[in-house]
Structure 1
Amino acid sequence: MTIQTARLSDPAVRAFVTAVNAHDREGLLALLTPDATVADDGADRDLTEWIDREIFSSHGHLDVDRESAGGRALLAHYSNDTWGEMRTRWSFTVEDDGRISRFETGQA
């Protein structure tokens, strides 16, 4: 059973999932610190290239199944036009100003 996005505990993570599912690139970028980083399956990636390829040009969508670590770790079904649907894990580092400085994802 998925968790409604509006019910996710951490405000930054909730806004991240909302922006991904709304295909709101500018909204997503506004949530990130200027030096934000991303890792996919343990390898650091170029953030802008990654979000464009894995989220925006391929219509990414997150359905969250479970959250932990105060809402900063998710287990979710992620789908996009490139890879189809897969079970994924996501973890977020949120700074004091409420912006995300790093997120990591990969298959669960």
Structure 2
Amino acid sequence: MIEPSQLSDPAVRAFVAAVNAGDQGAFQALLTPDATMSDDGSDRDLAQWAEKEVFSSGGHMAVASESDGGRALVVDYRNDTWGEMRTAWRFDVTADDRISRFETGQA
């Protein structure tokens, strides 16, 4: 596993740290105002998804590998709703290190 502090991309590193800390404020601060996301190929309401899949269910990301300069991850993701699963994550990051879109799904 890769420690979050060792991830290559600063925005992705901060995203993983915010998820693992359950820090909604830090999570929101990383996103552009119009950020979007998808889960298993379907666009979702980002705020509702994050509340359900991350913050109210104790979401945690254990990063197995990274590629594409740290903007693509393979993660053992767990939460209280679904247990643990291997997932793939891809991030679009702006020039000012904010996340404009992320996509996740089973790996």
TM bracket, shorter-chain basis = over 0.9
TM-score by length of 1: 0.98
**1:85 is the counterpart of 2:84:** yes
Indicate the residue corresponding to 1:70 in structure 2.
69
Mapped partners of 2:3, 2:91: distance in 1: 18
Q: Give the aligned residue type for 2:11.
A: A
Residues 34-90 of structure 1: CA deviation (Å, up to 9, x unaligned): 000010000000010000000000000000000000000000100000000000000
1:16 Cα deviation from its structure 2 partner: 0.1
Indicate the residue corresponding to 1:7 in structure 2.
6
**1:47 is the counterpart of 2:56:** no
Q: Give SS of 1:88's match.
A: strand
Identical positions, percent: 65
Q: CA RMSD in A?
A: 0.3
Q: Give SS of 2:86's match.
A: strand
> Structure 2: 5+ residue runs without aligned partners?
none
Matched residues, number: 107
Mapped partners of 1:66, 1:81: distance in 2: 23
TM-score by length of 2: 0.99
Mapped partners of 2:4, 2:14: distance in 1: 9
Indicate the residue corresponding to 2:19 in structure 1.
20
Q: Give SS of 1:53's match.
A: helix
1:97 Cα deviation from its structure 2 partner: 1.0
Q: Give the aligned residue type for 1:96.
A: A
Mapped partners of 1:64, 1:86: distance in 2: 12
